Chains A and B, each alone.
Chain A
């Protein structure tokens, strides 16, 4: 297998032009998938025999919760890549993904609270999953704050990378410790090894919504990285040509 594609990722210029052609299609596919999944799930999927209609928040809650975790995973991997290979794109990736991840974690908490009120009778419980999402949110905020506080850009890159790697190492431990501490939340909806326990007309829209949100976030991410590249490389010639030729 050739590693050329991987090394190419180290070049902001190559990444910029590559992502330019991908951002819009991916984003549109994502929007389409999310809308289809949500409309199908919210309007046409059958009611849950126990929870009634309130279960439908799953079509928002599960995608954002999955995204929040995936964003942190991706951020940690990018941090590791930066620490090992010093790839220029990695810190831009971290900078671009941290706010998205924070928003996803926040949305997971809010949607979970809205669901929790009718189902558990309370907005918030000190439950393992809720607490670990809260911690996830705080870890995202920590990385954002660290990047904003450090004025020197090389230091900010390195610090954010270190922090996201440390957070990635700690996240499973935090998760395990809070699970041991207290849990009330139901088990995961999707696992890779088992078939979902819901009927297909219930989980299929969910799957579409999840994939749609992944694509949507990927598109957003590519755009954010592009603007970060322009900001950081504004002295280089190709950026000047690009901006003069095609505008921003």
Chain B
């Protein structure tokens, strides 16, 4: 096993289990639909709330998809293979997160123009939204993967992952929606983007090691 073969394997697995990715995306769309139907379909309200709705949907669908990121690998023994492969486990975790991020976030970004139109989002803030998604979601994945690794041996771990990880998502959510709202009212938002980038970079420093530690503990246990 090399890093390259690992990455290719990850993409292949994700490709062959397309339904999981589709589920996450469909879940995202459903969450976004709930708000206009449940709260108000007024264009004025939706334009205000669009960034928050989309970000909440993104957070939830990432959590849904991240929850079973390690489940299969845990059951079929891949985790042991990674540990004994002699490759650096934190780096492998990083590659896995990368593969998942690409597979989930790219389709999401492609859907974004459509959804922002449905939510009457002004054009001025659309690119801010795309930028916050690009800069902020790596952090979400990196934080979430720690929760997934910690709960890999729990049979019904979805709720637990939510409980563990959602509080840690709050800063990302706050900075992202602040950025979009700043853009909406014509203010500069590069500061918020910088904060998002800082959060993502910081989780890049902490998360792979913590994830690797959790994986090792789960396997030996």
On A, residues with C-beta under 8 Å from B are 83, 131, 135, 138-139, 141-142, 145-146, 149-150, 152, 154-155, 158-159, 162-163, 165-167, 169-170, 173-174, 176-178, 180-181
Contact = CB atoms under 8 A, between A and B. Distances in A.
Listed residue (A154, A159, A180) with the most chain B CB atoms within 10 angstroms of its CB: A159
B204 to A, nearest CB: 13
Contact of B218 (A155, A170, A177): A155
A154 B178 contact: no
Interface range on chain B (Cβ under 8 Å from partner): 20 to 34
Given A149-B151, A181-B178, A162 B168 contact: no
Interface in B199-221: 199, 202, 206, 210, 213-214, 217-218, 220-221
A90 B168 CA distance: 23
Task: Tell me the interface secondary structure of chain B in the complex.
Answer: helix
B195 to A, nearest CB: 8
B171 interface: yes
A173 B199 contact: yes
Nearest to B171: A177
A160 B151 CA distance: 11
Given A83-B213, A162-B214, A155 B153 contact: yes
Contacts of B157: 149
Contacts of B166: 138
Contacts of B202: 169, 173
Contacts of B41: none
B34 interface: no
B217 A154 contact: yes
Interface in B148-202: 150-151, 153-154, 157, 160, 163-164, 166-168, 170-171, 174-175, 178, 195, 199, 202
B167 A158 contact: no
Given A159-B150, A162-B150, A174 B167 contact: yes
A142 to B, nearest CB: 4
Given A150-B154, A155-B153, A162-B213, A141 B163 contact: yes
B175 A142 contact: no
Contacts of B214: 158-159, 162
Contact of A173 (B160, B171, B178, B220): B171
A117 to B, nearest CB: 25
A21 B202 CA distance: 43
B146 interface: yes
A166 B143 CA distance: 9
A103 B172 CA distance: 27
A155 B151 CA distance: 10
A138 B163 contact: yes
A167 B150 contact: no
Contacts of B175: 177
A154 B164 contact: no
B174 A163 contact: no
